[in-house]
Amino acid sequence: MKKVVYFLFALVLIGFSACDNEPKFKVQGNVTGAEDKTLYFEASGLNGIVVLDSTKLNSNGGFSFAEKCPESPEFYRLRLDGKIVNFAVDSTETVQIKADAGKFDTEYTIEGSENNLKIKELVLLQAALQQKVDKLGQNTSMPAGIMQDSLVSMVNNYKNNVKRNYIFKAPNTSYAYFALFQTLNGYMIFDALANKEDIKCFAAVATSLNNTYPHADRSRNLYNMVIKGMKNTREPRQETIEIDASIVSEAGVIDIELKDVKGAVRRLTDLKGKVVLVDFTMYNNAMSTAHNMALRELYDKYHTKGLEIYQISLDPDEHFWKTVSDNLPWVCVRDATGAYSKYVTLYSVTNLPAIFLVNRNNELSARGEDVEDIEAAIRKML
Task: Look at residue 77 and give its three-state secondary structure.
Answer: strand
Among residues 115, 129, 77, 97, the alpha carbon closest in space to that of 32 is found at: 97
Among residues 50, 125, 120, 46, the alpha carbon closest in space to that of 85 is found at: 120
Task: Look at residue 189 and give its three-state secondary structure.
Answer: coil
CATH topology of domain 17-112: Immunoglobulin-like (2.60.40)
Q: With 80 as the cut, is the pLDDT of residue 165 above it?
A: yes
Q: With 60 as the cut, is the pLDDT of residue 15 above it?
A: no
Q: With 80 as the cut, is the pLDDT of residue 1 above it?
A: no
Which H or E run contains 187?
A: strand 187-188
Over residues 191-220, the mean pLDDT reads: 87
Mode of pairing for the β-strands spanning 187-188 and 257-259: unpaired
pLDDT band at 277, cuts 50/70/90? very high
The residue extents of the domains of the chain are 17-112, 124-233, 242-381
Do residues 85 and 75 lie in contact, with contact meaning Cβ atoms separated by under 8 Å?
no
Among residues 280, 306, 301, 302, the alpha carbon closest in space to that of 291 is found at: 280
Q: Which long-range contacts (CB under 8 A, 24 or more apart) does 348-353 make?
A: 348/236, 349/280, 350/233, 350/235, 351/194, 351/195, 352/194, 352/280, 352/281, 352/282, 352/285, 352/314, 353/279, 353/280, 353/281, 353/282, 353/288, 353/291
Over residues 264-286, the mean pLDDT reads: 91
**CA dihedral sign, ordered 179, 180, 183, 186:** negative
pLDDT attached to residue 242:
52
Over residues 291-319, the mean pLDDT reads: 92
Do residues 240 and 273 lie in contact, with contact meaning Cβ atoms separated by under 8 Å?
no
Do residues 314 and 344 lie in contact, with contact meaning Cβ atoms separated by under 8 Å?
yes
pLDDT digits (tens, 9 = 90+) for 23-40: 899 999 999 999 999 999
pLDDT attached to residue 235:
60
pLDDT attached to residue 244:
53
Indicate yes or no: pTM above 0.75. Answer: no
Do residues 274 and 299 lie in contact, with contact meaning Cβ atoms separated by under 8 Å?
no
Task: Look at residue 344 and give its three-state secondary structure.
Answer: helix
**Comparing 323 with 122, which gets the higher pLDDT?**
122
Q: With 60 as the cut, is the pLDDT of residue 19 above it?
A: no
pLDDT digits (tens, 9 = 90+) for 115-140: 999 999 999 999 999 999 888 888 87
CATH topology of domain 242-381: Glutaredoxin (3.40.30)
- Give the burial string for 77-97 (b: 16+ CB within 10 Å, else e): bbbbeeeebbbbbbeebebeb
pLDDT digits (tens, 9 = 90+) for 241-254: 454 555 444 445 78
